[in-house]
Chain A
Amino acid sequence: MIPVFLVVLLLELVTGQHAEYLINVEHKIGSGDWKQRATIILPSIKQSSLPSHNTPQYIPIPANEDIETLKRLGNNNSTLYHVRVPFKALEEGEGEVSNYVSVVVRACSIVESHLSHSLTLYMDSTGHMTGLSLLGSAEDCTGRTTDATSFTTQCHIAYPSVGSSPDVHSFIQVKEKEEKKKENTDSRSFLAKYWMYIVPVALIVMMSAGGQ
């Protein structure tokens, strides 16, 4: 038991020191410039059951967060807030990519959810992003402002869910069970089951009727 645990721990340490993957999260408020908002460190890009492999480490860069600009422009309902990540999670030493995956939301929705939102990166098994999801808690833009001074981000990585296929196996099992139940029940007719009792009773009735 304990040796197994030690082996697993050792393996984890070894693979944990394997190359990490970096994702730079950039943001842009309205028509400004792209600034790096945070870095995400991923231990591994493969979907695995070990939670430490899948949990991304989100490291924000507060200097670039531009909260004041966001709050100021967020009053205007039409200012848009853009977030983008590179198309591929980069290993150490890999260069820049030229393709990005980006989403856009209203700046006021970020402000009105008190700068707290969840960022989900949809990734496939090769480290390439397919999309982003940025969800806040604001349902309406009513011009409220917030006292929060920095972003609170919950970062998740999501992999494509497995497509369902027809569940023939359990259907066959259910059908077989029904078949078995049918076999156990007696399917003869009423007369076939109880003729042993009906015939003597009928004879007796006939005898007594004939006797009269």
Chain B
Amino acid sequence: PLLYYHALPHGSLLRVTRNAVYGGKTDTIEIPETMSYVGYLRSGQESEGFVYVPGQEGLIVKHSARDDSVAVTKIELPWATSDVKFVSSDDSMAALKGDILYYKVVGADSFRNVILSEIGVTWKVNAIRAAGKSVYIASGDKMSAVLLIRDGFMKAIKALDKDIVGQVVGADNIVLISRPENTVSLVQLSNGFEHHSYTLDGEGDRGGIVSINTLPSSHPCSTVTTVKIPGLLISWEDESVTVVGATEKCGWEREESLANVRSATMLDLPASSVIPLNLNKPSNPIKMWTDRILCQLNDLQKFINQHFGAGYRDTSMEMERDSFNLNKLILVATKVGKVAVLHSISGRVLWSRYMDGIATLENGKYEIRLVRSASHYPLPPLVAIVAASKDNENTVLNVINPLDGSTQYNRVIKSKVAQVQLTTVEDSEAARILLLVTRDNKVHTYPPNSHSLIKDLPLYFALVYPDTMQLKGFSLTVTGESVMETWSTKFRGDKILSVATKATNDAVYSQGRVLGDRSVLHKYINPNLIAVAMETGTGDKGHVDILLYDMVSGIQIHTVRHKQYSGPVHLLLAENWMVYHLWSAKLRRYEIVVAEFYISHSSNSTSFSSLLPNLSPYAIQQSYISTTPLSALAVTSTLKSITNRAVLFAESGGRIASIPKQLLDPRRPTVPTAADKYEQLIPYSPLLVTPPVSYLTYNKTLFGIRDMITGSSGIESTSLLFVYGDDLYFTRVTPSKTFDMLNEDFDYYLIGIVLIGLCLGTIATQALADNKALNKKWK
């Protein structure tokens, strides 16, 4: 195995593997197998690679470009035990052990060491970071120092009482940025003198620096006075870019992390932001009455202002739920650990925060759960975000208030998380108990130590193991502090392509389907289904298996094999049906298959239990040719699921098509009979055509679609869709048109006038008729 290589001039390559060094003018040189590679240093014509055995000896492989020679020197490193970490910065290398700093520059044959207290660093140093050519930054708990290797010896040039990161710019300067105050200063390396202090707008942690570049002196942000002060372009770890200028009027900031969203969720806005309704604490009736009157007066004032106030714009209205609950807050978490909340009307970023030290879980996403909604004033709403730590060994739980981003609770759990479950049990503060199950089968809760509240909960879940191709079911033990395995199964395939379960709020409105001949097909409604798509073999010898299990009991419901098909497979489960999109290797086209599950007779019991199985469903399937590859698949979801469902196809080309479920109906007949026409079944056509009208993105293109989420709004006809990837897109989907909303051009005034006119007309004509009858009697 190759440890490192670098290109030599004259086109040849210096390669260092675990066993030998190749290249240059020398023969191969043996390297013992136990060495682990450290780093690569370079200074002018000389370059070095370094390998060592912890605690024993190391080898320096030097290459000189002048005469293309490679030399290997042995070096003793009894101090370099396996807990010592080396940091290399361009042309030197350093390692911290206790309070002694070992360092070496290119060309030296051994490591020098220095006791940090002797060069002025008297406080405890936690870590050493590289900052550019021969410059290191030593950071302690509250202090930092800038260290420089000059003339072969390490010196401390500057000490500060803040936490700083830095990078060398130019020949003799270093930029130091202190966190979290975000002050940027330009310091001269030769004397530690601070040239200039820039002002950085914005607050909050941006993480470490990825790179700092100086702007040329011709740039308006750089000034050339007696001392050249360059403008700086800083690229941060949280994927934002800042330009700071020498003067205050120059500079900007740009947020780029929203192009790397990994997880998103939709949240309701709070109902009323003005008057706190102390509904939970009824005090004397007089106070309740005055509270209510004040609230109503306030509403009246807002109403008048809205309709008749000219140019009235109250931004606090933005944070209040509208009457149809169509405006939502969208909480997104990006790849680098930045969490932001966007407002769905304008896409405006309400707040964003960089959470240092978190990374996505193994499936590439975060787990976001709403622990407490905003309806429990004065308790703040809570959202829990579960992530892995940056070194992927631990789990980080952050609970924040989604309205302003403040952290309410933070915890690092020392093992990897396997599953996150939000229960319906609430604690005394109306926060739903969140369970984190870790790989060692232990259960951690938020709020912490709430095991007594969940101990009798019948909680079951399933875990997929793609490495060992297994599916296992677990259940909560009696004490609520751990889980135990209840069932397992093993797959015999090459790779698991996709796993799907139903949405937690998935509801079915009608239990059966009425056919054209007035008979009824009873739907098989099992909320605990899990579907696994698996591929074996490739191309003509491969096949794709779709297996459906009940997550609680492990009973297999259905299995389908598609011969000569392959992935990628997009799988969707909802109500009593399943839709999936796969590639036919034999016929070289994409296909969409829909399967619906029915039972042969309706069950008499009123409830469904996975652990009391007595129903055996059968499936009816149909398949269509699809014209495009997909990036994502989703289904609309509404409050009560009365509206027809539309399946949303996010095509790779960047458009989103909304296909009504009637087109994806396995009962579509090739030759319709009278009964089929009565049932209004669309005749079968093997090609699933998406008419241009069905594209939700009309003429826009969304680049790099990663995934999409749907949510329900306050009205039944409308479902909300949020698409994220390189672009962010939010829209409303109305699969049955807006049957419960009046049109925008509804003539309130005309109807009102006509109504009043008719009423007056009725009264007037009645009066006249009475008059006439009276006159007639007098004749």
Chain A contact residues, CB within 8 Å of chain B: 80, 82, 87, 99-106, 108-109, 113, 120, 122, 124, 126, 128-141, 158, 160-168, 170-171, 174
Contact = CB atoms under 8 A, between A and B. Distances in A.
By Cβ-Cβ distance, the 9 closest A-B pairs, closest first, are: A131-B556, A163-B562, A160-B561, A139-B605, A166-B686, A103-B554, A109-B612, A106-B611, A164-B621
A128 B670 contact: no
Interface string B485-524: 0111111100000000000000000000000000000000
B151 to A, nearest CB: 65
A102 B554 contact: yes
B614 A164 contact: no
18 contacts: A104-B554, A126-B492, A129-B489, A132-B556, A133-B613, A134-B553, A134-B613, A139-B603, A139-B604, A160-B561, A163-B593, A163-B623, A164-B622, A165-B562, A165-B584, A166-B686, A167-B670, A171-B685
Contact of B554 (A132, A163, A167): A132
A135 B613 CA distance: 5
B621 A139 contact: no
A165 B626 CA distance: 12
Contacts of B490: 87, 99-101
A130 to B, nearest CB: 6
A103 B492 contact: no
B729 interface: no
A122 to B, nearest CB: 5
Nearest to B547: A130
Given A161-B559, A163-B565, A131 B554 contact: yes
A137 B605 CA distance: 12
B665 interface: no
Given A80-B611, A103-B555, A164 B487 contact: no
B553 A104 contact: yes
A163 B545 CA distance: 9
A137 B473 contact: no
B575 interface: no
B684 interface: yes
Q: Chain B interface mostly helix, strand, loop or mixed?
A: strand
B614 A135 contact: yes
B143 interface: no
A102 B488 contact: yes
Given A82-B487, A133-B555, A162 B612 contact: no
B4 interface: no
Contacts of A108: 612
Given A128-B492, A167-B684, A168-B686, A140 B559 contact: no
A131 B555 contact: yes
B560 interface: yes
B489 A163 contact: no
B555 A132 contact: yes
B546 A163 contact: yes
B603 A164 contact: no
B268 interface: no
Given A87-B490, A122-B559, A139-B605, A164 B547 contact: no
A23 to B, nearest CB: 15
A140 B603 CA distance: 11
B695 interface: no
Given A106-B609, A163-B560, A166-B686, 8 more contacts: A102-B488, A105-B555, A106-B611, A122-B556, A134-B613, A138-B612, A166-B623, A171-B686
B214 to A, nearest CB: 61
B585 interface: no
A82 B612 CA distance: 13
A102 B489 contact: yes
A165 B553 contact: no
A163 B553 CA distance: 25
Contacts of A102: 487-489, 554
Interface string B86-114: 00000000000000000000000000000
A133 B526 CA distance: 15
A136 B614 contact: yes
Contacts of A124: 492, 545, 561
B667 to A, nearest CB: 13
